[in-house]
Amino acid sequence: MQDKFFQFKPTDEDGFDWGPKVSRQRFREARAGDHLVTPFQCDLCHFRNLTHRNPSSESPQDTFLLCCIRRANLDALWGREPLTVQATLRGARQMLALWRVVHLPIELPPRGPFPVKDSFGLRTAIAMLVKSLEPGRYSKDYQQFETIRKLRASYSNMYMSSSLGVDCLRTFGGETAKLSLTNLPTNSIWFERFALGCLRRMGQDVRQDWAIPIDAIHALLGALEKEWGRLQGWAERYRTASVGAFIVIAFCGSFRGNEVLLTDLYGLDKYLRELSGENHVIVPLLGKYKGEIHNRYHLTPLAATTDSGIQVRVWLQRLTEVWREAGRSHGPAFGTRHGEVLESSFIEEKIVDLLYELREANPGLLPAEMDFGEEFGVSRSFRRGATSTARVRKLPEEVINLTNRWRKFEHAKGRRPRLTMQDHYSDIRILIPELVAFSQAL
């Protein structure tokens, strides 16, 4: 079998494979007892169930399909570890011997035949395997399991909205908690084993966004400050102000990048002029978040100036000022002249360019070998950097959790629908000292 599907091997940074030799057979061959643990049909039976014919030895497509079926079968079998398979086989042999002692007729659960159809979910499994051979983000040879597994969700959605899915669906429970019974093939035991075996074979190449340190935050803001003093045109002033404001909100609020882009311009300007205190500012986000039904305000108090000197208020005021010059007072604070929310790439490209310039000017400030274009991301670099800094500053765990779980129960009073911003502020003002503690310490 020309199996070109990726298999993870433990290697060091130089690429040397130091895995034990016994691992060479993992995912390459079945083991005695596999059929007692995982539903199994041979490759030919699966082929016939999928195509309703026999394979042709002269067809490259048939050969490739048989290869995919074999790979899916092996992945499903390796969804259970060797010790589990061995224990099951040992137990089966013991039961046979004990039944013979008492002359009890031997009856084991039948291993088949299975229905002449794809009751295993093999079609979706093959689609996942074929997609895994496409170039990915981190490798030109394969795609990550986290990418290919999305096909399972797509098939599930299509099936449950089909006549088959509607007809077989049985639901128990109330409006919020439900238990559903369905004939969805990708919920079969075989498919569960396949998905787990496929994940174990491929591994996970997890590359988290770089946790940007607070020294780099000050260097970035310092570079932007120098730019601000010499800029003339509105477009340049807006880009610098928006990047500076984005950095202080994302880092001091421990936000993900997409959350910062939901900052409301009208609320930001109003709070800066009327309701922000001497030591804090209010950042209003307006959006619909996962698990929510309506668009809601999320109000986050931040320190006006942090202990290390991050000028939060200054950059927020600059952002509202440039929009005032443009004659716009409503819509997204991080938006286009037409009122559309900015793409995160608008911010990220500017920051990445600044990081390279800062490293060249001060080689000891930033990691020498880091590819900022790959390892820095506005989605989580600021959040991870802020959380790491807070832990270094010995902030209590409950304060860190309160900030990083800003959408949950602790902030429920700041996100009631259909309230005025003044009402929102009144609800959270007694929590301001606790909510500001995180950003103040940075």
Give the dihedral sign, CA 126/130/133/135: negative
Determine how β-strand 178-181 pairs with β-strand 280-287: unpaired
Q: Residue 440: what pLDDT?
A: 86
CATH number of 214-440: 1.10.443
**DSSP β-ladder status, 280-287 and 170-173:** unpaired
Q: What is the pLDDT of residue 20?
A: 56
Task: Give the residue-averaged pLDDT of 70-86.
Answer: 93
Closest by Cα among 422, 415, 426 to 271: 422
What's the pLDDT at 272? 84
- Read off the pLDDT of each residue in 36-61 and give the average, rounded to a whole number: 93
DSSP class of 178: E
pLDDT tens digit sequence for 164-209: 878 777 666 666 556 677 788 898 999 999 999 999 988 877 667 7
pLDDT of res. 370: 82
**Confidence tier at 87 by pLDDT (50, 70, 90):** very high
Mean pLDDT, residues 425-433 taken together: 64
Q: How far apart are CA 182 and CA 169, in angstroms?
A: 5
Please tell me the distance from the alpha carbon of residue 247 to that of residue 270, in angstroms, as a whole number: 21
Q: Higher-confidence residue: 78 or 19?
A: 78
Q: How far apart are CA 181 and CA 428, in angstroms?
A: 43
Q: Which residue has the tokens 């035991």?
A: 189
* CB-CB contact of 201 with 71 (8 Å): no
Among the ranges 86-100, 282-296, 427-441, which has the highest mean pLDDT value? 86-100
The confidence score (pLDDT) of residue 408 equals 46
Which residues, including other chains, have CB under 8 Å from residue 214's CB and lie 6 or more apart? 251, 308, 385, 389, 442
pLDDT for 289-339, tens place per residue? 444 444 556 778 899 899 899 999 999 999 999 999 888 888 889 988 888
Q: What pLDDT was estimated at residue 329?
A: 87
Lowest model confidence (mean pLDDT) among 69-73, 215-219, 346-350, 402-406: 402-406
- 10-19, 33-42, 84-93, 150-159, range with the lowest pLDDT: 10-19
Please, what is the average pLDDT of the chain? 83
Mean pLDDT computed over 22-29: 75
What confidence category does residue 419 fall into, taking pLDDT thresholds of 50, 70 and 90? very low
Beta-carbon contacts of 327 under 8 Å, excluding residues fewer than 6 positions away, are none
pLDDT tier for residue 417 given thresholds of 50, 70 and 90: very low
pLDDT for 96 beyond 90: yes
Q: Exposed/middle/buried for 158, CB within 10 Å: 0-12, 13-18, 19+?
A: exposed
Q: What is the pLDDT of residue 429?
A: 67
- Structure token digits, residue 152: 């399972």
- Chain segment 366-385, per-residue pLDDT in tens: 888 888 887 888 888 888 88
| pLDDT score, position 25 | 77
Residues 6+ apart with CB under 8 A from 241: 228, 315, 318, 319, 321, 322
Residues 226-273 have pLDDT tens digits of 888 887 788 888 999 999 999 999 999 888 888 888 898 988 888 888
Amino acid, res. 188: S
The Cα 439–Cα 424 span in angstroms is 20
Domain map (residue ranges) of the chain: 21-202, 214-440
pLDDT of residue 413: 41
What tokens appear for 117 in the block? 């159809």
- Helices and strands, counts by H and E, the chain: 19, 4
Query: Over the stretch 98-124, which tens digit does the pLDDT of each residue have?
Result: 999 999 998 888 888 899 999 999 999
